């Protein structure tokens, strides 16, 4: 078993330096849960406006359980990783059906909910219910790896197990909620990734094994992930008057259930686009090239080129079946579009 150094200096440091964040003012497990799910994969500053709007619109577990899918996706639009919000709704329905609408108050029951893993269960259990569980996310793994001068790949399951056990032993000795928040805060503001820690500001620098060995910039060790697949696509903003052609993506797979403009595979020229549309009997009034754009998913990159394509009213009936024409104001209010299309949004 690995032993972390004494973490008590973190507590006064946290009291003095913690950022004032809305989810740190509540013990309501629903509000804490929403914050933790949003904060997975998303920066604090990006989460703040979404968090407020989500809770204004869906202030309770029962409201979340009952929300229509389109509303959920719209509230999440731009945050990415949409399965997060779908899983939250599944979990909310479980809470309504199996826990009488009360968020469960034991670690095991929290962990059994859809979309809640060890980290999130520990965060909710400690922040909402003061239970002595660790909350080890990527930030805290990095802090622990540096404190221990840990040399294995931190993404391996062994590393997660060993480092989580070390943190678990420590958080039991302190007010757990505060210590968990303090570890997260240290990782987010001082013990920074990519070789850029601010050790001069760290309350634990005198007991940090990586710092003592001058290895803080090269830790944690992370094995290179497999290269992402690259997919070229041509985004067509097909416009008829003030309506834009959209389709709903399939129920399964990447960005399922979200809406998108018509796309062709590959990076096509204007001529190629026109002949593709001509094959459907559609004639183009005007075609304007748009900027190229790139979007990076976890395992995939989209390399996009785009065109705005003006069509006449007669073309509306010739569009592929999966497309429908959406008035522009409905795109703003009703249809959730993935941020992968951000570069083309101004034309929609
Ligand atoms: N990232 C994950 N959980 C967090 C929290 N509670 N506060 C700030 N950043 C976080």
Ligand 1 touching residue 48 (CB < 6 A): no
Largest CA distance in the chain: 74
Residue of 14, 21, 176, 189 to mutate, ligand 1, most atoms within 8 A of C-beta: 21
User: d(Cα 323, Cα 329) in Å, to the nearest integer?
Assistant: 17
Q: What confidence score (pLDDT) does residue 61 get? A: 98
Q: The tokens 């309501």 sit on which residue?
A: 28
Ligand 1 touching residue 39 (CB < 6 A): yes
Among the atoms of ligand 1, which is closest to the Cα of residue 180? 6
Active site residue 301: no
Active-site position among 15, 36, 231, 272: 36
Ligand 1 touching residue 184 (CB < 6 A): yes
Among the atoms of ligand 1, which is closest to the Cα of residue 137? 2
User: What percent of the chain is predicted at pLDDT more than 90?
Assistant: 95
Ligand 1 touching residue 187 (CB < 6 A): no
User: d(Cα 325, Cα 311) in Å, to the nearest integer?
Assistant: 12
pTM for the whole structure: 0.88
Q: What confidence score (pLDDT) does residue 4 get? A: 97
Does CATH place domain 10-212 in 1.10.340.30? yes
Q: What is the pLDDT of residues 111-120, one digit of tens each?
A: 999 999 999 9
Q: What confidence score (pLDDT) does residue 142 get? A: 97
Atom 6 (ligand 1): residue with closest C-alpha? 181
Residue 275 φ then ψ, to 5°? -75, -30
Q: What confidence score (pLDDT) does residue 90 get? A: 98
CA-closest candidate to residue 107, choices 126, 89, 90:
126
Per residue of the chain (348 residues), what is the pLDDT tens digit? 999 999 999 999 999 999 999 999 999 999 999 999 999 989 999 999 999 999 999 999 999 999 999 999 999 999 999 999 999 999 999 999 999 999 999 999 999 999 999 999 999 999 999 999 999 999 999 999 999 999 999 999 999 999 999 999 999 999 999 999 999 999 999 999 988 899 999 999 999 999 999 999 999 999 888 899 999 999 999 999 999 999 999 999 999 999 999 999 999 999 999 999 999 999 999 999 999 999 999 899 999 999 999 999 999 899 999 999 999 999 989 999 999 999 999 999
Topology classification of domain 229-347: Nucleoside Triphosphate Pyrophosphohydrolase (3.90.79)
Among the atoms of ligand 1, which is closest to the Cα of residue 40? 2
Q: The tokens 């998303």 sit on which residue?
A: 42
User: d(Cα 201, Cα 303) in Å, to the nearest integer?
Assistant: 41
3-state helix/strand/coil string of 302-321: EEEEEEEEEECHHHHHHCCC
Delimit the CATH 3.90.79.10 region(s) of the chain.
Answer: 229-347
Ligand 1 touching residue 308 (CB < 6 A): no
User: d(Cα 280, Cα 275) in Å, to the nearest integer?
Assistant: 9
Q: What confidence score (pLDDT) does residue 196 get? A: 86
Residue 212: Cβ within 10 Å count:
12
């Amino acid at each position: 078993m690995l032993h972390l150094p004494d973490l008590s200096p973190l507590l006064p440091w946290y009291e003095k330096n913690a950022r004032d964040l809305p989810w740190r003012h509540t013990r309501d497990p629903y509000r804490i849960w929403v914050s933790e799910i949003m904060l997975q994969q998303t920066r604090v500053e990006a989460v703040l406006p979404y968090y407020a709007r989500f809770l204004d619109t869906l202030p309770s577990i029962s409201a979340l359980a009952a929300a229509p899918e389109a509303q959920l996706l719209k509230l999440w639009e731009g945050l990415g990783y949409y399965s997060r919000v779908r899983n939250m709704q599944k979990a909310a329905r479980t809470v309504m059906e199996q826990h009488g609408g009360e968020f469960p108050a034991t670690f095991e029951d929290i962990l059994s909910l859809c979309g809640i893993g060890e980290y999130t269960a520990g965060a909710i259990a400690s922040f909402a219910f003061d239970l002595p569980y660790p909350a080890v996310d990527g930030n805290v793994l990095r802090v622990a790896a540096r404190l221990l001068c840990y040399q294995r790949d931190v993404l391996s399951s062994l590393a997660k197990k060993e480092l989580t056990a070390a943190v678990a032993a420590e958080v039991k000795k302190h007010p757990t909620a505060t210590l968990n928040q303090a570890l997260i805060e240290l990782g987010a503001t001082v013990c920074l990734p990519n070789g850029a820690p601010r050790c001069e500001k760290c309350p634990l620098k005198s007991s940090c094994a990586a710092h003592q060995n001058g290895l803080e910039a090269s830790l944690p060790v992370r094995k290179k992930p497999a290269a992402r697949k690259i997919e070229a696509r041509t985004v067509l903003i097909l416009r008829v008057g003030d309506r834009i052609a959209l389709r709903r993506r399939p129920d399964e797979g990447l960005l399922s259930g979200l809406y998108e403009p018509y796309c062709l595979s590959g990076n096509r020229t204007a001529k190629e686009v026109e002949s593709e549309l001509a094959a459907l009997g559609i004639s183009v009034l005007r075609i304007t090239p748009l900027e190229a754009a790139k979007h990076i998913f976890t395992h995939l990159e989209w390399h996009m080129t785009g065109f705005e394509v003006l069509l006449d009213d007669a073309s509306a009936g010739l569009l592929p079946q999966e497309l429908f024409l959406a008035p522009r104001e409905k795109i703003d209010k009703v249809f959730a579009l993935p941020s992968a299309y951000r570069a083309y949004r101004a034309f929609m």
